[in-house]
Structure 1
Amino acid sequence: MSLLGTDAPTRERVADVRLVGPALGVWATAVLLATGSARTALGTAGVLLACALLALVPAVRRAGWAAAVTAAALCSATSALACAGRLAAVESSPIAALARTGGELTAEVEVAEVPRPRKGPSFDGAPGFTVPAHTVWAVPGAGAGRVAIRVPVVLLASGEEWRAVLPSERVRVSGPVLPAGPGTVHGLLPVRGPPVSTAPPVPAQAWADRVRGRLREASAGLPAPADALLPAFVAGDASAVPEEVAEDFRAAGMTHLMVVSGSHLALLTGAVLVAGRWLRCPPWSTALAGAGLIGAMVLVAGPGPSVLRAALMGLIALLATALGRDRTGLAALSVAVLVLVLFDPALAVSYGFALSVLASGGIMVLAPGWSRRLAARMPAAAADVLAVAAASHLACLPVLVLLQPEVGWVSVPANAAAAPLVPVAMVGGFGTAAAALLWPAGAAAAAWVPGLAVLVIARIADAASGVPFASVPWRGDALGAVGIAALIAAVLVLRGRARTVLLAVALSTAATTCAVPAWPPRGWAAVLCDVGQGDAAVLSVAPGRAAVVDTGQDPGPVDRCLADLGVHEIPLLVLSHGDADHVGGTPGALAGRSAGDALVPDGFTAPAASAAMAAAGVRPHPTASGDVWTLGPWTLRALWPRPSPGAAAPEDGNARSVVLHARWEPPDGGPAAPLTLLLTGDVEESAQRALLAEPLIRGVDVLKTPHHGAGTQDHAFLRATRPRTAVTSVGADNRYGHPAPETVRVLDSLTPAHYRTDLHGDIAILPGRTGPEVAVRGPLDR
């Protein structure tokens, strides 16, 4: 049996590429139109239909190129029509209309997927969940009648009880509707409190939940982290996987193994085909057994984009088996793309779907030739494994750089080393899950076979994650994706001296990048970003995750700062007040990053920032002194503004600016000393005088100078903070004259370590054994 199952490359002498063009046309059309307007999509469909008609006449005369163009244009036009239909439904939806005005909605919804935990701080001790759902009926606004309407929405739920909600279960919800941003989701519904169930899940979903629960019980006796990883491998249940283990898999490029992906389903389907041949079963019975397995796996793991792709390809392979025909890999992949994107155009812009399709395509196109060449120098089995790992990684690189702005190599040997163990983990794990339904005690013993395989895979991920110089920085935007794609294409197409020169240039560039210390410095805890005349602070929570306090005036600088820090997830966003130089960059901070919740002062008004948060599904929570949050090594305490129930918020935004005391503790009792930051927003004299009574302001490690160092400071407040380090976030040659000379004199008298973003650029704070250490990047050209 191939280690790839039904994703394995077929042994066709001539690949069947007839459907590749139409599939690419459908996919590209949906990518361009899925987040646009219905009118644009409909106009595009008309243009594509006209192109198909123009190419039809030569096609009738048996011109091969014309037939291909006609097929691609017709399929692309169908894709445009599918996008137009979905987008028109959103634009005319009463729920989407409510979202544009923030109106109230009461509805009954049917849950579509297992609730996913939202990474972020816990408010009122209630964890948050993202719950995709469809409405059954809705009351769109006060005074409106009940209407039957089935449209996709996303619930932003709070409360541990939501963890137990199952797909197909119906719950009643009410609350304000937030805009969901471009796409086919009609709105985001923040939901507080436990779910109000109105109908139980269907029996199939209840069975799938029982399978997941029994598998967790059977895995409980395994050594860590296998006890948490086996349910993740088999059922996609990663809720108990430790964060450091998940980070090891990410750094090693092995995240697709830690969660159920298309490769897992393809492997199981391939196992059924092999078993059917070995047992000499009739083809139709093998196909039926495989189809049943695919249905069970989709139920247990959920209909993720990668799983759906592999499920459809598996069904095509099973149909070919039942009919006694050879399967054709590229044709099956093309059919899967055509069917899935036409059915749900939103899949076209899904990273998971793109990675799954590209990995499968890379394996089918590149791996066979590479394997033959490598087989001359190593055993054939090793050549297959290495070729598959390299081909899938290379094909996915243009998408991977959008998720993480770097180009790595360590995932190829890491995945090659893990490849022989994956079938043991998957087939054994699924067998354990099946046994757990019938004989729990026996399943606990059987779990040791896949459990040991998973444990070794975790050790491989741990070792690979610590390899030095495992990646080089790369642009994490569309230009970076196009650049790496062009480089890969050139390496594959060029021959002889031209390819040698290109590879030499690429390797020397990579070596130079590795030799020169990259930003950010290793072990950074906080960075004050150079965003010009404004504020933006980043507090590292875990690799790739950081809290952000203010976002500067423009989206570009803060987006650049976060990308350079490798931040792809913001569990907490704090906007100190509504001034443009503190919130104007919010769209850039949230662009391409998942986010949790936001903290704002009472009476916060910043329409553009609020719209950006709503589009990203970020819920703002009013905060006041006394509120406390814990994120990883950080404990954040709000010191200002003071709560004033029933009182009107001051008209001056600076007066109610959020002031945070942030304390960093060394993880696992490390050697570094604790670190404290005082992030002061734009508070001025009156608030500063009131804060003199707060013990936490006295003797901080790092003071973020209030209001960019303006002259409106209470000097007694500055002296009370006794900072070891002061940082003033200010734009070069700004028209306000910040920082004021008298403020600079006071700060310089308090500490010799006074840094300014206009002079020093991005400023990193690193915990040290005896106090904070500082690294500066230098001002960037704007």
Structure 2
Amino acid sequence: MARHRSPADVIRHRLQSRDERIQRQLMNSSRVPDVRLLPTVLAVWVASFALLRREPWTAWGLIAVGGLIVFGWAVLELRRRGQAWPRRCDGPLARARWTGSFGIAGLLLLTCSVTGLARMADPGQQALWDGTSQNRAVPVDLLVLGHPEPGAGAPSEPSTSGGACVRGCRTPVLVTRVMNGTHWHSVLQSATLQCSSDCSQNVTVGTRLRVLARPESRADRPGDLTLRVLTPAETLGAPGRVERLLRGLRIDFLARAARIPGEEGSLLEGMVLGERSRNTPQFTLVMFSTGLGHLTAVSGANCSVVFTMVVLLLRSFRVRRVLAGGFAMSALLAFTALVGPDPSVLRAAVMAGLALSVLVTGHRSRGLPLLCCTVILLLFLEPGLSADLGFALSSAATAGIILGAVPLSLMLGRIMPYGLALTVSVPWAAQWACAPLVVLIQPQLTPYSLLANVLVGPFVAPVTILGTLALVLGPGGSGLSQPVFQAAEFCAGAIWQLAKLCHRLPGAVLDWPPGVLGFGTMALFGLCQAALLWCFAHPARVSATFVRLHGVLRGDSAAR
């Protein structure tokens, strides 16, 4: 006769089964990461950053270093091929693979240096950067890539324009042509368009403009080029149909969000569209003091949610995997055009495109090599990203999750359910990787940042999914759009209330040393946390080590 089980027993059994399934998945996904591309990433990043100063001797020095590395790799490769190495996965063959990785690093370092030297000799690039040193204006043709944002000292106005330029705005653009003397030269250079008080209202995404601007560059940001507009912009080409459609959706969503009082509306705008024009100082203080500053704008996590949502939706209708990936990539490109070319968004979009390419070829993608290839490709296309702290934070957070989330979940799973361990490990791994870089921006320690991220975690993905659905469904009065928008508003309000709760806790912000000292001490602090967690997760091995050490010390004392 079957024993009747109570509802509590049924729930306990299901939770235990789910926890065991998560444990098996974590054990199957725990493997030694392929880190052979890390030297290449480091070489390309250092070279891209060094070449931002536009000094030819730096490029020639890097060419010499890259040539020496390639020459050394060639010599070792010839010596290896001249001997009969045993064909196995360890020993000489493993050394040969690492030698090959350093050879690739040398080749790409050489290529990056030669490309940087060619950029310095380009007439269009010379005309732009000479204008910064000579303080002279140059006529330029440009393509507007992003949405205007209020500059420093500009009034914070409701962002219902959906991307029209207001007084003192700053807009990401791509310079396509520049006049040097009497000749136009083609060029591809990203820049920031700084409008004056009488800037025209036609600075919208997809517009082609011609302006007379004075190039400026900051000493602490050598790759950051700013074009200060001196005359009203002349329109050369209007946005296409897709850009106009996306702008209409953006205007409608921002108009609805502007009716939400308080910081909830500002948070909803930032999490869905990356809009920051309504952010107040109090809002920024609360979000950054609780480690939730990444939620004030669109990040790579939003792109991952959009990509995954489209794939799962299409796969539920039995659409082929490759076709579902193609539609998801199209949706991700539209989302990127909607929110603007933020470095973290570009990183996520390029990484998703590379993963889809690997999937089409029939191979299995691996996280860390994909991230390394993404960083290398973006640094080749836009060397200025090497000095962008947002791009560094996005790359570090992704690498931290790839490398640390699974091992951290397995360690935490010894003292808590694996489902909860996975929930805690993802933000913890990202914070470990980003904390030293965050100190360079804000020299402070936020003890409750992990708690805040875990608490708001269940509401973050719904805000992105529901907000994007409300945006796609059209105007606020149509069908399901308004209920979905209200659900997204509720989730954003919950995040804001939890952020304020963590901000009010005692000791929410602690001072930390700034600069290089703060970077080093924060990295050491993270290593100490990891060591302490390992000790808690492996008490038997720790106690055995102490017993063995105690025996060694007693033996030494008896010998004396």
TM-score (norm 2): 0.78
The residue identity in structure 2 corresponding to 1:14 is V
2:251 equivalent among 213, 232, 237? 213
Determine which of 148, 151, 156 is the counterpart of 2:185. 148
The DSSP-based 3-state class of the residue aligned with 1:35 is: coil
Deviations 1:716-741, CA, capped at 9 Å, x for gaps: xxxxxxxxxxxxxxxxxxxxxxxxxx
Corresponding position of 2:413: 375
Conserved in 2, the CA contact under 8 Å of 1:96 and 1:186?
no
Conserved? CA contact 1:212–1:237, under 8 Å: no
Which of residues 69, 88, 93 in structure 1 aligns to 2:126? 93
Q: 1:198 to 1:343 in 2, by over 3 A?
A: closer
User: In structure 2, what residue type is equivalent to 1:99?
Assistant: T
Q: CA deviation at 1:216?
A: 1.8
Larger proportion of strand: 1
Which of 497, 512, 523 matches 1:459?
497
Specify the structure having the higher radius of gyration (Cα): 1
1:255–1:186 Cα change, 3 Å:
closer
Partner Cα distance (2:404, 2:194) in 1: 42
Q: CA deviation at 1:280?
A: 2.5
Give yes or no for the alignment of 1:128 onto 2:168: yes
In 2, the alpha carbon distance for the partners of 1:81 and 1:182 equals 24
Residue identity in the other structure for 2:152: K
1:259 is the counterpart of 2:297: yes
CA distance in 2, matches of 1:438, 1:410: 37
Alignment of 1:191-340 (within 5 A): 191=229, 195-222=233-260, 224-340=262-378
Which residue is equivalent to 2:85? none
How far apart, in 2, do the equivalents of 1:247 and 1:229 lie? 13
Residues 80 and 329 (structure 1), Cα distance of their counterparts in 2 relative to 1, 3 Å cut: same
- CA change 1:405–1:440 in 2 (3 A) is same
The more displaced of 9-18 and 352-361 is 9-18
Q: Which is worse superposed, 182-191 or 243-252? A: 182-191
1:106 counterpart (114, 139, 154): 139
Deviation string for 1:166-203 (max 9, x for gaps)? 13312332354444547775954332575443321233
1:354 to 392, 397, 416: 392
- Per-residue deviation at 1:12? 5.0
Pick one of 216, 228, 233 that aligns with 1:190.
228
State the distance in 1 between where 2:402 and 2:340 align: 26
Kept in 2: contact 1:218–1:436 (CA 8 A): no
Residue 63 of structure 2 is aligned to residue 45 of structure 1: yes
Structure 2 CA distance for partners of 1:70 and 1:469, relative to 1, 3 Å: same
Amino acid at match of 1:97: D
Equivalent position to 1:26, from 13, 22, 44: 44
In the aligned structure 1, how far is the partner of 2:477 from the partner of 2:404?
Answer: 44
CA displacement at 1:14 relative to structure 2: 3.2
Superposition deviation, residue 437 in structure 1: 5.8
Contact 1:154 1:185 in 2 (8 A): no
Q: Is the 8 A contact 1:36 1:183 kept in 2?
A: no
Give the Å deviation of 1:480.
2.4
Question: Is the alpha carbon distance of 1:363 and 1:136 closer, same or farther for their aligned partners in structure 2, counting shifts above 3 Å?
Answer: closer
Structure 1 counterpart of 2:542: none
Q: What displacement does 1:487 show?
A: 4.1
The structure carrying a bigger helix percent of its residues is: 2
- Secondary structure at 1:120's aligned position in 2? coil
Helix, strand or coil at the partner of 2:254: helix
> 5 Å matches for 1:574-613?
none
Where has structure 1 moved over 6 Å in runs of 4 or more?
493-497
Which secondary structure state, in structure 2, belongs to the residue aligned with residue 154 of structure 1? strand
Q: What amino acid is the match of 1:102?
A: N
Contact 1:375 1:383 in 2 (8 A): yes
Letter in 1 for 2:116: C
What do the CA deviations read for 1:248-287 (whole angstroms, capped 9, x no partner)?
2122111211210011101221223333443322112111
Whether contact under 8 Å (2:211, 2:232) holds in the other structure is: no
Give the Cα separation in 1 of the matches to 2:531 and 2:66: 31
Matches of 1:438 and 1:15, distance apart in 2? 47
Deviation track 1:428-449 (CA, whole Å, cap 9, x = no partner) reads: 1111111016964541232011
Contact 1:90/1:186 (8 A) holds in 2: no
CA distance in 2, matches of 1:221, 1:92: 45
What do residues 734-769 of structure 1 show as CA deviations (whole Å, max 9, x unaligned)? xxxxxxxxxxxxxxxxxxxxxxxxxxxxxxxxxxxx
Matched, 1:54 2:72: yes
Tell me, yes or no, if structure 1 residue 424 matches structure 2 residue 456: no
Distance 2:252 2:122 in 1: 41
- Checking the alignment, whether the CA contact within 8 Å between 1:156 and 1:191 is kept in structure 2 is yes
Deviation at 1:334, TM superposition (A): 1.1
| 1:615-694 alignment, distance < 5 Å | none
Q: Aligned residue for 1:595?
A: none
- Asked if the contact 2:213/2:231 (under 8 Å) is kept, the reply is no
> Letter of the aligned partner of 1:150 in structure 2?
V
Map of 1:734 onto structure 2: none
Counterpart AA for 2:444: E
Structure-1 separation of matches of 2:230 and 2:413: 59
SS of the counterpart of 1:447? helix
Aligned partner of 2:487 among 424, 449, 460: 449
Distance 1:460 1:86 in 2: 49
1:526-537 maps to which residues of 2 (within 5 A)?
Answer: none
Q: Is the 8 A contact 2:167 2:199 kept in 1?
A: no
Residues 159 and 24 of structure 1, relative CA distance in 2, 3 Å threshold: same
Following superposition, the deviation at residue 496 of structure 1 comes to 6.2
Does structure 2 retain, via aligned residues, the 8 Å contact 1:23–1:334? yes
- Which residue does 1:622 correspond to in 2? none
Kindly indicate whether the alpha-carbon contact (under 8 Å) linking 2:263 and 2:496 is maintained by their aligned counterparts in 1: yes
Matches within 5 A, 1:516-535: none
Decide which moves more: 367-376 or 29-38: 29-38
Mapped contact 1:363–1:391 kept (Cα < 8 A)? yes
Deviations 1:563-582 (A, max 9, x none): xxxxxxxxxxxxxxxxxxxx
Deviation by residue 1:269-323 (Cα, 9 ceiling, x = unmatched): 1223333443322112111111111111110011111011111222233334444
**CA distance, structure 2, for counterparts of residue 127 and residue 178 of structure 1:** 19
Contact 1:9 1:367 in 2 (8 A): no
- Name the structure 2 match of 1:481: 519
Q: 1:187 to 1:338 in 2, by over 3 A?
A: closer
Are the structure 2 counterparts of residues 237 and 383 from structure 1 closer, same or farther at C-alpha, using a change threshold of 3 Å? Answer: same
Distance in 1 between the 2:437 and 2:527 partners?
Answer: 15
Q: CA deviation at 1:154?
A: 3.3
Corresponding position of 1:621: none
Q: Distance in 1 between matches of 2:148 and 2:35?
A: 39
Matches of 1:19 and 1:27 in 2, distance apart? 12
Contact kept in structure 2, 1:359 and 1:395, CA below 8 Å? yes
1-side partners of 2:465 and 2:327: how far apart?
A: 15
The alignment status of 1:410 with 2:448, answered yes or no, reads yes
Deviation at 1:36, TM superposition (A): 5.0
Using the alignment, how far apart are the partners of 1:10 and 1:92 within structure 2?
Answer: 51
Contiguous gaps of at least 5 residues in structure 2: 1-25, 81-92, 157-165, 540-560
Which residue is equivalent to 1:66? 99
Aligned to 1:16: 34
Structure 2: distance between partners of 1:316 and 1:30:
22
Task: Please tell me the residue identity of whatever aligns with 2:372.
Answer: S
| Residue type at the aligned position of 2:441 | L
Query: 396, 409, 414: which is aligned to 2:434?
Result: 396
